[in-house]
Amino acid sequence: MSLVCSREPNPQHDTLVPYLLNEMENENGLCMDFFAEAVSRLDDDEAIAPLFTRAMVDISDRLSTMNMNDDYKPCVNVSWVVASEGLPLSVSLAHFGFDRLS
């Protein structure tokens, strides 16, 4: 049976970056419940860790080009949230970095 509704991946659209960079109180941001749910499903859904990892790498790349006059705080804030609340997501990110260097 053929897939009726399919499309090519779009890196500009298929990303969590804009949602992660919005503050949690913003209606376009991600709340802590979202992080908790993502972490709880890591073992069941192999797509979650790479999705967060790619987003964090993209945010890190963006941050690496900024200076003190740029709006860097959203990038730093989301990094703290992922590091403090989503430890398994941080581990996934660390593995990505290690694999990237190998």
**What is the per-residue pLDDT for 73?**
93
Per-residue burial over 28-39, b if 16 or more Cβ lie within 10 Å, else e, is ebbeeeebeebb
**What is the per-residue pLDDT for 72?**
92
Taking the complete model, does pTM exceed 0.85, yes or no? no
**Is residue 63 within 8 Å of 57, Cβ to Cβ?**
no
For the chain, residues with pLDDT lower than 50 are 1-2, 101-102
**What is the per-residue pLDDT for 7?**
60
Q: Which residues contact 75 (CB under 8 A, 6 or more apart)?
A: 21, 59, 60, 62, 63, 66
**What is the per-residue pLDDT for 59?**
92
**What is the per-residue pLDDT for 10?**
63
**What is the per-residue pLDDT for 2?**
45
